[in-house]
């Protein structure tokens, strides 16, 4: 219950799915292994992001065209990513992605 | 616009691979590349995540990785939290929200590095592949 509520709050506040919160908590609190945690987290995110988007829609903040512009290509990406996850060890990718995030954070603040 | 499409594909790949990375890439891409303000970017990111999560879940379910009961429970329990989070985001100024988001990105990066350095299944897999 705590995981769901926390993830929802986090997702609504930051506009992210909440996987950042859900995945480690499923692993640490419920003893999930990583693949089951990421998969179950994705399924929960359908609801979480759906609720959040609906609530943001009421504030008039949702830009439908831009959501399609990044969301539709991402659907293709997620199929590739899931396929790769069954075949690769993800350590190097995690480290690369961490570097990308730090660089983007700097860019975002400096803008 | 091409940049936004490429970021979309990249965000999807990372989301499928690491279970993180949809929104955490969508939001900065929408701000930096498409010029949305922080509130619009977060709202738009949430909507963009929905189809990605649906397709990602469908493919993961075919690999037998989704624990459906837990996912449904987590998702439904998140409703109140999501609405509260959105209300809180809209009560904050764009600058505060943007700086908080930048901190979040760094924290996600730290978490990924820690997971990468402590994940026993990843090191096991790397040993197998190096044999």
- Residues contacting A1, CB < 8 A, separation 6+: B77
- Do A9 and A30 lie in one domain? The reply is yes
- Do A71 and A48 lie in one domain? The reply is no
- Do A57 and A102 lie in one domain? The reply is no
Q: How confident is the model at residue B71 (pLDDT cuts 50, 70, 90)?
A: very high
In chain A, the number of structural domains is 2
- Do A72 and A109 lie in one domain? The reply is yes
- Do A25 and A77 lie in one domain? The reply is no
pLDDT recorded at residue B122? 47
- Contact at 8 Å (CB) between A104 and B28? yes
Q: How confident is the model at residue A86 (pLDDT cuts 50, 70, 90)?
A: confident
Neighboring chain B residues of A64 at a CB cutoff of 8 Å: 44, 47
Interchain CB distance below 8 Å, B15 and A74: yes
- Do A48 and A74 lie in one domain? The reply is no
B88, closest residue in chain A (CA to CA): A13
Complex confidence, ipTM: 0.86
Q: By three-state DSSP, how is residue B37 classified?
A: coil
Query: Hey, what are B52's tokens?
Result: 């990605």
CA A78 to chain B, closest CA, distance in angstroms equals 4
- Do A5 and A55 lie in one domain? The reply is yes
Q: Domain span at residue A80?
A: 64-111
Q: Is the pLDDT of residue A22 over 50?
A: yes
Q: Write down the domain spans for chain B.
A: 2-125
In the predicted model, what is the mean pLDDT of chain B? 85
Q: Report which of A18, A110, A103 is spatially closest to residue B95, judged by C-alpha positions.
A: A110
- Contact at 8 Å (CB) between B57 and B20? no
- Contact at 8 Å (CB) between A48 and B75? yes
- Do A78 and A51 lie in one domain? The reply is no
- Do A84 and A57 lie in one domain? The reply is no
CA A25 to chain B, closest CA, distance in angstroms equals 12
- Do A69 and A58 lie in one domain? The reply is no
CA B10 to chain A, closest CA, distance in angstroms equals 6
Neighboring chain B residues of A29 at a CB cutoff of 8 Å: none
- Do A55 and A89 lie in one domain? The reply is no
Q: Is the pLDDT of residue A66 over 90?
A: yes
Q: Is the pLDDT of residue A92 over 80?
A: no
Torsion of CA B8, B13, B14, B19, to 10 degrees: 110
Question: Measured at the alpha carbon of residue A68, what is the angle toward residues A65 and A75, in degrees to the nearest 5?
Answer: 175
pLDDT recorded at residue B124? 44
Interchain CB distance below 8 Å, B27 and A14: yes
Q: At what angle do helices B2-18 and B22-32 cross, to 10 degrees?
A: 160
pLDDT recorded at residue B120? 54
- Do A47 and A95 lie in one domain? The reply is no
B27, closest residue in chain A (CA to CA): A15
Q: By three-state DSSP, how is residue B70 classified?
A: helix
């Amino acid at each position: 219950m705590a995981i769901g509520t926390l993830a929802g709050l986090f997702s609504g506040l930051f506009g992210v799915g909440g996987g950042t919160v859900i995945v480690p908590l499923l692993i640490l609190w419920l003893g999930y292994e990583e693949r089951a945690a990421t998969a179950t987290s994705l399924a929960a995110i359908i609801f979480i992001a759906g609720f959040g988007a609906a609530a943001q829609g009421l504030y008039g903040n949702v830009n439908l065209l831009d959501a399609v512009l990044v969301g539709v290509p991402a659907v293709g990406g997620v199929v590739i990513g899931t396929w790769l996850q069954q075949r690769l060890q993800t350590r190097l990718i995690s480290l690369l992605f961490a570097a990308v995030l730090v660089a983007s954070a700097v860019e975002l603040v400096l803008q | 616009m091409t940049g936004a499409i490429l970021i979309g594909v990249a965000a999807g790949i990372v989301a499928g691979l690491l279970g993180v990375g949809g929104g955490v890439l969508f939001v900065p891409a929408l701000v930096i590349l498409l010029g949305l303000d922080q509130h619009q970017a977060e709202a738009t990111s949430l909507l963009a995540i929905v189809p990605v999560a649906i397709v990602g879940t469908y493919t993961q379910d075919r690999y037998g990785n989704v624990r459906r009961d837990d996912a449904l429970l987590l998702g439904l329990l998140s409703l109140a939290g999501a609405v509260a989070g959105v209300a809180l985001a809209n009560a904050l100024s764009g600058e505060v929200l943007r700086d908080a988001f930048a901190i979040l990105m760094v924290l996600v990066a730290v978490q990924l590095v820690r997971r990468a350095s402590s994940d026993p299944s990843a090191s096991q897999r790397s040993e197998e592949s190096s044999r």
